[in-house]
């Protein structure tokens, strides 16, 4: 039965039985006391209907039945005035209880048992006495939480096993929509970890057993159960959001995240910080493994024919993204892994995080984001599941990696950087892959906007990034034709690449910023496999005898002080 149909049924029952709709003893209406509690704030999360007798004991259910409520509202709630309804699934045999004052913390559980209030002890938090009658051991039942006729949540239970509670999937926070589906409920294993009293198993007052595996926090890895590896803060970085697709928002909204470590998605929660509904839980029996360096996509619909031809969908969310809004990813216990906000989303274009800013702190800076310009499907632009486009940084600005804040680029000035060594004629690999040059920094500055060229500075900088590319005084910085060590002759990490060639003879090289030249060198000839370098007094020569090879063939000191320091 769908929730709207159930709501209609409950409303009809309330109309003919006003006392059950939230009236207290003597017929006083108590709905005002719970008026601040909205649908989904309180969730039925676990039900224990049939007590199992321990060896030599009694199996009577009196005082042993219970069910659990979860506070999904995000704040503490006083449940006074809520009406608890217990009935058959079709609403027959209904009994009610109006809640007395009792507080449930945000993210907390409240266990209600069939005992008088004076006998609440142990795992119980609240007693409703005999008001709700016996929980049914066969043919199923229904527990609903209402306020003044409004259904806050309801859940059905059907198959009852003596001594076993049935609980909503503990792989994520209880959800008032997801708990409508009995496929999301299961019983815990008969293991010591779940034996809350002798011979009886459940998790009253704590997170439920994870239905996705054979034990709490387990998943099926190719037929072998193993513990899940949930992401921690910063291990999933939100990198792209698409709140305003050209098609149906209810089908085609999506957002993307980048994994900075090997993790499992089982149990993570997708949410908006600014709404009142419960998070959407991503779960499955199988391990939803994601390798470090992988992009994952969360969408509204898994069908590419309906979701705007997304390349894949790794998890489903039901909340609505808005043009000026937010999205967050939570771990299975509700801790924030990453969250982002945006003030405006363009039509048919995703908002993309610059690929240099794959960090859960730096992505809080809106200047690190830009509109997508390349189409992946039809009229919509973006790169779901793939590396984003480079965002053009605001003129003269960059994001400081130390604090994630935007600041002015610190450009070098005359005398603060020197072309210190260069390789025009590599031997191990070809010139177009293995040429390089090195700069020596004599002050702290940023490399952003650095230009280089042969006879003149190139109009396009060889270093562009939304991040501030800081260097410190004394650093040696290498620039190459190819960033891959396997292709460029085993160079150390290059700070940037250049497209012009370093001619073997009668050639020049110059660097600068803002079309202002800061350092330049020239050479009449070069030797194959030998770098040209400056010594401590600025004398230029081919790398002298004693300089080691950096790759077994080519001689030079890329990324390090020139050694030996003096030219012959």
- Which domains does the chain show, CATH number per domain? 3-211 (2.60.40.1260), 236-392 (no CATH), 417-542 (2.60.40)
289-290 and 236-242 beta bridge pairing: unpaired
User: pLDDT category, 57, cuts 50, 70, 90?
Assistant: low
Q: What is the number of other CB atoms lying within 10 angstroms of the CB of residue 185?
A: 23
User: pLDDT category, 20, cuts 50, 70, 90?
Assistant: very low
- Is pLDDT larger for residue 384 or for residue 60? 384
Name the one residue in this structure whose structure tokens are 């401590």. 536
pLDDT one-digit tens code per residue, 423-439: 999 999 999 999 999 99
533: CB partners within 8 A, 6+ apart: 420, 421, 422, 540, 541, 542, 543, 556, 557, 562, 567
pLDDT one-digit tens code per residue, 201-215: 999 999 998 875 434
Q: Are 202 and 167 in contact (CB under 8 A)?
A: yes
CA 346/CA 475 separation, integer angstroms:
42
- pLDDT for 21 equals 32
DSSP 20: G
- pLDDT for 72 equals 95
H or E segment at 11? helix 3-16
- Side by side, which strands form the sheet with 83-87? 95-98, 83-87, 141-147, 150-157
pLDDT one-digit tens code per residue, 152-183: 999 999 878 889 999 998 878 999 999 998 88
The dihedrals phi and psi of 224, each to the nearest 5 degrees, come to -115, 120
Determine the average pLDDT of the residues in 484-506. Answer: 96
Determine the average pLDDT of the residues in 477-483. Answer: 97
Per-position DSSP letters for 71-95, written without gaps between them: E-SSS-EE-TT-EEEEE-TTS-S-E
The angle at the Cα of 41, spanning 36 to 42, to the nearest 5 degrees, equals 110
Residue 183 burial (C-beta neighbours within 10 Å; 0-12, 13-18, 19+): exposed
CA 69/CA 74 separation, integer angstroms:
14
């Amino acid at each position: 039965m769908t929730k709207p149909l159930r709501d209609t049924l409950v409303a009809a029952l309330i109309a003919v039985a006003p006392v059950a709709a939230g009236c207290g003893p003597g017929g006083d209406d108590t709905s005002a006391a719970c008026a601040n509690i909205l649908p989904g704030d309180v969730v039925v999360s676990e039900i224990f209907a049939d007590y199992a007798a321990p060896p030599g004991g009694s199996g009577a259910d009196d005082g042993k039945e219970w069910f659990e409520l979860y506070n999904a509202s995000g704040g503490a709630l006083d449940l006074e005035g809520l009406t608890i309804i217990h009935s058959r699934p079709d609403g027959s045999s209904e009994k009610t209880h109006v809640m007395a004052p009792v507080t449930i913390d945000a993210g907390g559980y409240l266990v209600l048992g069939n005992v008088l209030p004076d006998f609440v002890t142990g795992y119980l938090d609240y007693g409703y006495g005999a008001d709700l009658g016996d929980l049914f051991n066969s043919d199923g039942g229904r527990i609903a939480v209402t306020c003044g006729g409004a259904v806050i949540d309801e859940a059905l239970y059907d198959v009852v096993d003596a001594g076993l509670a049935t609980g909503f999937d503990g792989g994520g926070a209880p959800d008032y929509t997801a708990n409508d589906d009995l496929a999301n409920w299961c019983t815990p294993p008969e293991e010591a970890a779940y034996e809350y009293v002798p011979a009886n198993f459940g998790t009253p007052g704590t997170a439920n057993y994870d239905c996705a595996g054979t034990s709490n926090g387990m998943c099926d890895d190719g037929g072998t159960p193993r513990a899940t590896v949930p992401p921690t803060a910063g291990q999933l970085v939100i990198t792209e959001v698409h709140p305003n697709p050209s098609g149906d928002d209810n089908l085609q909204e999506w957002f993307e995240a980048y994994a900075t470590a090997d993790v499992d998605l089982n149990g993570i929660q997708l949410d908006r910080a600014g709404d009142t509904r419960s998070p959407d839980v991503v779960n499955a029996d199988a391990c939803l493994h994601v390798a470090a360096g992988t992009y994952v996509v969360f969408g509204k619909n898994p069908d590419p024919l309906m979701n705007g031809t997304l390349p894949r969908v790794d998890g489903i969310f039901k909340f609505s993204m808005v043009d000026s809004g937010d999205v967050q990813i939570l771990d299975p216990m509700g801790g924030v892994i990453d969250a982002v906000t945006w003030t405006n989303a363009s039509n048919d274009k995703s908002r993309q995080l610059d690929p240099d800013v794959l960090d859960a702190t730096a992505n809080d800076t809106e200047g690190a984001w830009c509109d997508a310009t390349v189409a992946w499907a039809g009229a919509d632009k973006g790169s779901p599941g793939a590396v984003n486009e480079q965002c053009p940084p605001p003129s003269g600005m960059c994001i400081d990696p130390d604090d994630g804040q935007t600041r002015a680029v610190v450009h070098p000035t005359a005398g603060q950087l020197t072309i210190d060594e260069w390789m025009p004629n590599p031997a191990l690999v070809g010139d177009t892959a293995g040429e390089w040059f090195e700069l020596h920094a004599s002050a702290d500055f940023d490399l952003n906007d650095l230009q280089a060229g042969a006879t003149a500075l190139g109009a396009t900088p060889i270093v562009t990034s939304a991040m501030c590319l800081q260097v410190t005084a004394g650093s040696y910085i290498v620039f190459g034709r190819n960033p891959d060590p396997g292709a460029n002759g085993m160079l150390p990490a290059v700070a940037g690449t250049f497209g012009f060639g370093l001619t073997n003879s009668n050639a020049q090289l110059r660097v600068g910023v803002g079309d202002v030249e800061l350092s330049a060198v020239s050479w009449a000839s070069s030797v194959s496999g030998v770098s040209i370098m400056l010594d401590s007094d600025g004398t230029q020569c081919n790398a002298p005898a004693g300089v080691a090879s950096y790759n077994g063939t080519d001689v030079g000191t890329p990324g390090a002080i020139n050694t030996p320091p003096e030219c012959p």
